[in-house]
Amino acid sequence: MKLISMNPATGDVVHTWPVHSEPEVSYILGQAEDAYQSWKATDLAFRLDCLEQLAGMLRDRAREYGVIMAEEMGKPLVQGIAEAEKCAWLCDYYGENAVSFLEPNEIDTGANNSFVAIEPIGLVLGVMPWNFPFWQVFRFAVPTMTAGNGAILKHASNVQGCANAIESVFLDAGFPENLFRNLSIPGSRVNGVIEHPAIAAVTLTGSTTAGRAVAAKAGECLKKTVLELGGSDPYVILDDADLDQAVAACTAGRMLNAGQSCIAAKRLIVTRKNESEFITSLQRSLELKVMGDPMDEVDLGPMVSINARDELHNQVKRSIDAGATLLIGGEVPDGDGSFYPPTLLTDVKSGMPAFDEELFGPVFVVIIAEHEQEAIEFANQTEFGLGSAVFTANIERGKELAKSYLQAGACFVNDFVKSDPRLPFGGIKASGYGRELSAHGMMEFVNIKTVVVKPAGDS
């Protein structure tokens, strides 16, 4: 058995990768455990030196990595370069803040000395998806390893070139050999890795179905999990919204990565007052977008696979059959590759796939609400709770809706949702639990240890 990387723009096989056998996996995990035992005892300053080297190499190799992403999963080259550079920014952030995040915290309890110490816990298994094949890995691995842990990657089968490039750059940056390792195995073998005694915890970014399966196995083994799962992010456009701003944000928030993002702008909920103007402006914006070879200067590359494209198209057709109106797109292009054009659906209502399901691709779904209250009700009418956005000229009202009414792990006012190393990232409901990034992300996979010291002989 081999893992296959296939160019989604052409359908050509880029590379095949041998699968690690069970004995090879056990050997790799044993090596990684040994590397971790040494790494956890290293001075933080040394870890930060490695992190600085890693940031520089990511910037130097950004175009190289962008090409690999374009070839393996269809991301436009300029977006892939930006993704590699964002990983370097992540390294910068933890390099600047890890000392304060990890230092002991003195607590006044009346005892002679009480404090909270932060310790690593071991090897953290990251089960990662193909859509942001560098960013998803680095945002779990960098804080995890900086805190003194080791990282084991089980990457998506179709992006093993990315996975191996990541393993190499950690080694080139001076991190110890075997501290970060990629396992070339299919998803069916993840449970066996979770069960391995060397694995201390698991983080997964992927579907809700995969999250439930990993959480069940990890729970059986009493190993902590962080899950970042699907989303059906609502963008609420209120009566007083700046429509040019809203259209630009919704377009950018949906077109990035061909709409294949958990935090894409998936349901655009517009109040009746702005229905006609918003839809007309959005349609004009989409008609200007260029779809094509991801190695060219395009807005939209192919979707990751023919199967993914066909599944999306089926959701579009079922929504139209249920009463949605197709304004542009919605047709599978002739020719090679798994391309799907920007598609705009209106008259979308509850009960249609475009409202109820996660559409993972460049489909813009417009839902009309009669007023603000109904718009918020529609926004929260989903099993997911990853990201959300609200557009309004009343900043105080926007802040209140974001803080207290929209049910999600993140809510942006007058902008599209994006991850940022400085801010915690994660969801609620069927979108998962736990947080990545910021100080909160670094604290997910550590032992937060209470230490109380009483003087000898003090009764």
Asked whether residue 63 carries a pLDDT value surpassing 90, the answer given is yes
Residue 112 pLDDT level (bands cut at 50, 70, 90): confident
CA gap 132, 399 in Å, rounded: 29
Which residues lie closer than 8 Å to 399 by C-beta, 6 or more apart? 413
Across 165-174, average pLDDT = 98
Query: What distances in angstroms separate CA 145 from CA 89, 101, 135, 136, 445, one per listed residue?
Result: 16, 14, 15, 15, 10
Tell me the longest C-alpha to C-alpha distance in the chain.
84
Please give the structure tokens belonging to residue 386: 């990853």
pLDDT for residue 455: 83
Which residues face 363 on adjacent strands?
Answer: 343
**Is the pTM of the predicted complex or chain greater than 0.95?**
yes
What burial class does residue 197 get, using C-beta atoms within 10 Å of its C-beta: 0-12 exposed, 13-18 middle, 19+ buried? exposed
* CA triple 301-236-359, angle to 5 deg: 35
Query: Which of 308, 319, 212, 181 has its CA nearest to residue 257?
Result: 308
**Does an H or E element contain 109, and which?**
none
Considering 33, 167, 228, 436, which one is annotated as catalytic? Answer: 228
Task: Report the residue count for the chain.
Answer: 459
Per-residue pLDDT tens over the stretch 401-457: 999 999 999 999 999 999 999 999 999 999 999 999 999 999 999 999 999 998 887
Query: Which of 135, 146, 227, 145 has its CA nearest to residue 419?
Result: 135
What are the structural domains, with CATH classification, of the chain? 2-229+427-451 (3.40.605.10), 234-413 (3.40.309.10)
Instruction: Please provide the distance, in angstroms rounded to a whole number, between the alpha carbons at the two ends of the chain.
Output: 67
Asked whether residue 458 carries a pLDDT value surpassing 90, the answer given is no
Query: What distances in angstroms separate CA 108 from CA 102, 105, 358, one per listed residue?
Result: 19, 10, 49
Asked whether residue 85 carries a pLDDT value surpassing 90, the answer given is yes
Q: In this structure, are residues 408 and 385 in contact, taking their beta carbons and an 8 Å threshold? A: yes
Phi, psi at 448, each rounded to 5°: -90, 100
Per-residue pLDDT tens over the stretch 198-229: 999 999 999 999 999 999 999 999 999 999 99
Per-residue pLDDT tens over the stretch 285-321: 999 999 999 999 999 999 999 999 999 999 999 999 9
Judged by average pLDDT, the poorest of 100-104, 108-112, 354-358 is 108-112
CA gap 291, 285 in Å, rounded: 13
pLDDT for residue 249: 98
CA gap 235, 412 in Å, rounded: 9
Told to judge if 87 belongs to the known catalytic residues of this protein, a careful annotator would answer no
CA gap 114, 97 in Å, rounded: 23
Q: Decide: helix, strand or coil at residue 412.
A: strand
CA gap 183, 20 in Å, rounded: 7
Asked whether residue 384 carries a pLDDT value surpassing 90, the answer given is yes
Asked whether residue 362 carries a pLDDT value surpassing 90, the answer given is yes
Asked whether residue 1 carries a pLDDT value surpassing 90, the answer given is no
Across 137-162, average pLDDT = 98
CA gap 430, 229 in Å, rounded: 7
Asked whether residue 459 carries a pLDDT value surpassing 80, the answer given is no
DSSP 333: P
* CA triple 440-444-448, angle to 5 deg: 95
Considering 50, 91, 162, 262, which one is annotated as catalytic? Answer: 262
* Sequence-ordered strand ranges (E) for 276-417: 325-328, 343-346, 363-369, 387-391, 410-413
Query: Which of 386, 387, 391, 368 has its CA nearest to residue 378?
Result: 368
Q: In this structure, are residues 410 and 265 in contact, taking their beta carbons and an 8 Å threshold? A: no
Across 106-112, average pLDDT = 84
Across 141-157, average pLDDT = 98
pLDDT for residue 111: 66
Asked whether residue 335 carries a pLDDT value surpassing 90, the answer given is yes
In a 13 Å sphere around the CA of 180, the CA atoms on its Cβ side amount to 27
CA gap 179, 170 in Å, rounded: 9
CA gap 206, 210 in Å, rounded: 6
Which residues face 344 on adjacent strands?
Answer: 328, 364
**Does an H or E element contain 44, and which?**
helix 44-60
Q: Decide: helix, strand or coil at residue 111.
A: coil
Asked whether residue 110 carries a pLDDT value surpassing 90, the answer given is no
pLDDT for residue 250: 98
Which residues lie closer than 8 Å to 321 by C-beta, 6 or more apart? none
Told to judge if 106 belongs to the known catalytic residues of this protein, a careful annotator would answer no
